[in-house]
Amino acid sequence: MRNESLSYPRLLKPPAGSFFLFGPRGTGKSTWLRRTFPEAHYVDLLDERKYQAYLADAGLFAGEVRALRRGTRVVIDEIQRLPSLLNEVHRHIEEQGLKFALCGSSARKLRRGGVNLLGGRAVQRFMHPLVPEELGGTFHLDESLRWGSLPVVLGAESRSEALEAYAQTYLREEIQAEALVRNLPGFARFLPVAALFHGRVLNVSSLARDAGVTRTTAIGYLDVLEDTLLAYRLPAFEGRLRVRERRHPKLYWADPGLPRAIKKQLGPATREEMGPLLEGWLAGVLRAYRDYRGLFDEWWYWAPAEAGLTEVDFLLRRGRKFLALEVKSGRSASGDALRGLRAIQPLPGLARRILAYGGDHRQRTKDGIDVLPLESFLQEVESGRLF
């Protein structure tokens, strides 16, 4: 397997001080850290000998960093494997002015173990799968929807084998090795069912029934997916409109290739898959630009309960302004595609309504909806001109 992640310029900018860097496995966090901080003191907790030594005696780590010059940058990879080291990190930030980059693919142990999160002395940053701006001339939408945009997959000789191995690595290394779930066979049954909900409103009772687990267990498994940064839930907007909004969240996987690998469906995307795959991929792009460039402050999807077929895929807020976005893979901007955007028009603070679609013509409807080809929409995202 070759790895070409070094050839991709990343949009993430390093903070000046200490920071946590989170992201799913295979997004290129370690590569970015080594390239960004070539002179840093590097601690890799995937090195089993080093991990076992620190586990037995945290004083070894303390002595190692105590010998560094004041202000030195220290990178600790896979910090979630040994969160107790954060006490020493905290102390050496205070006493020596060391600057730490703390990298991990799971925030679960850090968040739930009651460990020292450095009391605000380290900001959080996130690494996402590659976006079109980073891929440059190698970006092809059909390929991104089929295989996803994880550098570890794109740099492989066989993308299908890389994705299949990724799914197995997740079960083996993230879940089994870290003992995040007690019933691994139940979790393995749950994953392909959860993959079916990619880009869809989440019905936990149905998910639990199809996976053969209790509803409480299914909720816990969803938390594991979020904590290991492989999926996330988008809440329904609950503003005070004339109708009552539905409250169930939508589920999105962090990369389109992941649910396809888990379902073992890695052939060309079918027509039935295209809608959820495109919506989920664009959700990932928006999320990346939120974290990299502050594209928006909060987001939701909008769907009034009294109108079951009326929905807006994304509602973004920046400051006091809202932007409503509908995503369609089809090449025509029909009335059905615009229904949700027209229904949401009374929302206070709504500054713009956009339909991003698979057609070629940019236009504005008589009632003020911007209809943008996907390429034009991406250009506005990249330039920060959405609002």
Instruction: Kindly report, residue by residue over 180-191, the tens digit of the pLDDT.
Output: 677 788 888 999
Q: Which pLDDT does position 118 carry in this prediction?
A: 64
pLDDT-derived band of residue 117, with 50, 70 and 90 as boundaries? low
Q: Which pLDDT does position 301 carry in this prediction?
A: 96
CATH 3.40.50.300 is the classification of domain 5-126: yes
pLDDT-derived band of residue 106, with 50, 70 and 90 as boundaries? confident
pLDDT (tens digit, 9 = 90+) per residue, 13-35?
999 999 999 999 899 999 999 99
pLDDT at 120 over 70: no
3-state class (DSSP) for residue 75: strand
pLDDT-derived band of residue 4, with 50, 70 and 90 as boundaries? very low
Q: CA 316 to CA 283: how far, in whole Å?
A: 11
pLDDT at 154 over 90: yes
Q: CA 109 to CA 100: how far, in whole Å?
A: 19
Proportion of the chain above pLDDT 90, given as a percent = 72
Other Cβ atoms less than 10 A from the Cβ of 207: the count is 21
Asked whether 55 and 86 are in contact (CB, 8 A), the reply is: no
Q: Which pLDDT does position 80 carry in this prediction?
A: 86
Q: CA 101 to CA 55: how far, in whole Å?
A: 20
Q: CA 70 to CA 65: how far, in whole Å?
A: 10
- Domain extents for the chain? 5-126, 129-387
DSSP 245: B
Q: What angle do CA 12, 17, 20 make, to 5 degrees?
A: 60
Q: Which two tokens stand for residue 300?
A: 């939701």
Helix axes of 58-66 and 48-56: crossing angle, nearest 10 degrees: 100
261's enclosing H/E stretch is helix 257-262
What integer best gives the mean pLDDT of the chain? 89
Question: Contacts by 169-174 with C-beta closer than 8 Å and gap 24+?
Answer: 169/25, 170/25, 170/228, 170/230, 173/25, 174/25, 174/105, 174/106, 174/228
pLDDT at 298 over 80: yes
Q: Which pLDDT does position 334 carry in this prediction?
A: 80
The model's pTM:
0.92
Q: CA 95 to CA 62: how far, in whole Å?
A: 12
Q: Which pLDDT does position 336 carry in this prediction?
A: 85
pLDDT at 302 over 60: yes
Q: CA 196 to CA 251: how far, in whole Å?
A: 10
pLDDT (tens digit, 9 = 90+) per residue, 304-354?
766 566 799 999 999 999 999 999 998 888 888 899 999 999 999 999 999
Q: CA nearest 127: which of 103, 144, 159, 156?
A: 103
3-state class (DSSP) for residue 11: coil
CA dist list (Å): 171 to 41, 71, 82, 92, 182: 31, 38, 20, 35, 12
